Amino acid sequence: MVCLGNICRSPLAEGVMQHLADKHSLDWQIDSAGTGGWHVGEGPDRRSVRAAHNNGIDISRQICRKFSKRDFDEFDLIFVMDKSNYADVLAMAPNQEAAAKVRLLLGDKEVPDPYYDDTQFQPVFEMIEEGCKDIVKQFKSNTN
Ligand code: 4NP
């Protein structure tokens, strides 16, 4: 799960995806990262921690890291939040196989950056939850 800062959206996506994977007994390796490195080593934004907590999910122990080219080897799928993330991640893809792993979490829609608007964290949570539920629907039968 990749966004720009790895403190607002992608930590929520990691938390929701892990929560759903646990619920469905899916042995998936789930992680998140940001294309920008400003917050590396920090925990998630407290507004994301609160939004997750309000929905029964604890993301408070996540640590921000920067997306790396090695992630293309480590992961089968790389979900990005918006088209800008998509372009940034795609630009790092070493080959076609790696590029094909990159998808928008919501298919054709974007998860907007809530950083400058406190009211957007719950709506963003809900968008991310929908996207993650679709991932379970799409891939569960292929892995179990
Ligand atoms: P995120 O939001 O990409 O959802 O984590 C942002 C958080 C911080 C910054 C940008 C986006 N920033 O520029 O510090």
Is 113 among the catalytic positions? yes
- Spatial neighbors of 68 by CB under 8 A, at least 6 apart, are 33
Q: Which SS3 state, helix, strand or coil, does residue 79 take?
A: strand
Which pLDDT does position 34 carry in this prediction? 99
Verify whether ligand 1 is closer than 6 Å to residue 21 (CB atom).
Answer: no
Span from the CA of 138 to the centroid of ligand 1 (angstroms): 28
Structure tokens at 85: 């993330």
Which pLDDT does position 144 carry in this prediction? 47
Is 58 among the catalytic positions? no
For 48-104, how does the pLDDT look when each residue is reduced to its tens digit (9 = 90+)? 999 999 999 999 999 999 999 999 999 999 999 999 999 999 999 999 999 999 999
Which pLDDT does position 142 carry in this prediction? 54
Verify whether ligand 1 is closer than 6 Å to residue 115 (CB atom).
Answer: yes
Please count the other Cβ atoms lying within 10 Å of the Cβ belonging to residue 64: 22
Structure tokens at 39: 């917050």
- What is the architecture, at CATH level 2, of domain 2-143? 3-Layer(aba) Sandwich (3.40)
Stretch 6-25: mean pLDDT: 98
Question: Domain boundaries in the chain?
Answer: 2-143
Q: What is the pTM of this model?
A: 0.97
The sign of the dihedral angle between the CA atoms of 127, 71, 15, 5 is: negative
Which pLDDT does position 141 carry in this prediction? 72
Type of residue at 140: K
